[in-house]
Amino acid sequence: MTDNTNFTYEKVKKITDFLRTKTGIEPTIGIICGSGLGGLAELVENKYVIDYADIPGFPISTVIGHAGRLVFGNLGSKKVVCMQGRFHAYEGHSMAKVTLPVRVMKLLGIDTLIVTNACGGLNENYKVGDVMIIKDHICLPALAGIGPLVGLNDDEFGTRFTALSDAYDKDLRKLAKEVAAELGVDKFLHEGVYAMQLGPFYETIAECKLIRNLGADVVGMSTAPEVMVARHCGLRCFGLSLVTNEAIFDYDTERKANHVEVLETAANRGAQMCEFVSKICTRI
């Protein structure tokens, strides 16, 4: 689990050097595309695309609905690198592996990380298709000792004790709200707290109640580890969650969460989400 010694600074640097030589592109913004939100990478212009499988030392993702490639190019006047398909801890990847790409993007030269994900809505005011600006997170695995910063600290990336009280950049959240108003997507926009549980299961009703009572507005299976590692190495972070389904609180309902519904909602709201992120990039 704490195999971060497998991904030393030198190994991350090797991957970075390989990518820089191949692409010749020096991105300033890194974007991690969540479930069904890979469409964002399609908006990238003057693309250079490389499959994870073709990057020596890079992990490979296994989930249906997640491509596994890096897309370099221009998005909304900025040079970006998009991860189309992220690594999840529920696939059996260590937290070090899940967060390796963040460090690769850091050494590629980004200063800002944008993360997106699909999630279940816990807040009763949130509807399917709504989007939430992540204001803060609760990383349940990390609180229980399964976190990406456990183990020897690599001082070349950051300090031993990382402050996370300002994990989601205030200025970027403000900017996003301005952009949302301009695009008219503010009608279905919220700002709230994302809880990560490791998965790969959708929560029981009692777990949904627990996580809601802890103060979370949505729940998902990703994002928080990447943001922890991004903050460790000094990246500014901005996160968007797409509510793809409502968490179940009712013992009498026949409804239940499923991955098809998650992907369908993402497909329906995807284009607007992508335009939103693209415009934010321009204005950063």
Q: Which of 41, 95, 96, 118 is catalytic?
A: 118
Q: Indicate if 251 belongs to the active site.
A: no
**Residue 232 labeled ligand binder:** no
**Of 245, 247, 266, 278, catalytic:** 245
One-letter amino acid for residue 3 of the chain: D
Helices 170-183 and 259-283, interaxial angle, to 10°?
A: 100
Q: Which span (8-16, 67-75, 150-158, 217-225) binds ligand 6GU, by CB under 6 A?
A: 217-225
Q: Shortest approach of ligand 6GU to residue 196 CB, angstroms?
A: 8
Could you tell me which stretch among 38-46, 90-98, 214-222, 270-278 binds ligand 6GU (CB under 6 A)?
214-222
Q: How far is CA 139 from CA 50, 193, 211, in A?
A: 30, 10, 11
Q: Which helix (H) or strand (E) holds 78?
A: strand 78-84
CB of residue 246 to ligand 6GU, shortest distance in Å: 8
Rounded Cα distance, 279 and 76, in Å? 6
SS3 at position 193: strand
Nearest residue to ligand 6GU, by Cβ distance, number only: 120
Concerning whether 66 is annotated as a catalytic residue, the answer is yes
232: left (phi over 0), alpha (psi -120 to 50) or beta: alpha
Only one of the segments 64-72, 172-180, 199-207, 228-236 lies at the binding site for ligand 6GU (rule: CB under 6 A); that segment is 199-207
216, two tokens? 């979370």
Closest CA to 193 of 131, 136, 130: 136
Catalytic residues: 35, 66, 88, 90-91, 118, 221-222, 245, 259
Residues flagged as binding site for phosphate? 35, 66, 86-88, 118, 222
List residues forming the annotated binding site for a purine D-ribonucleoside: 203, 245
Residues forming contacts to ligand 6GU in the complex (CB under 6 A) are 118-120, 197, 199, 202-203, 219-221, 244-245, 247, 257, 262
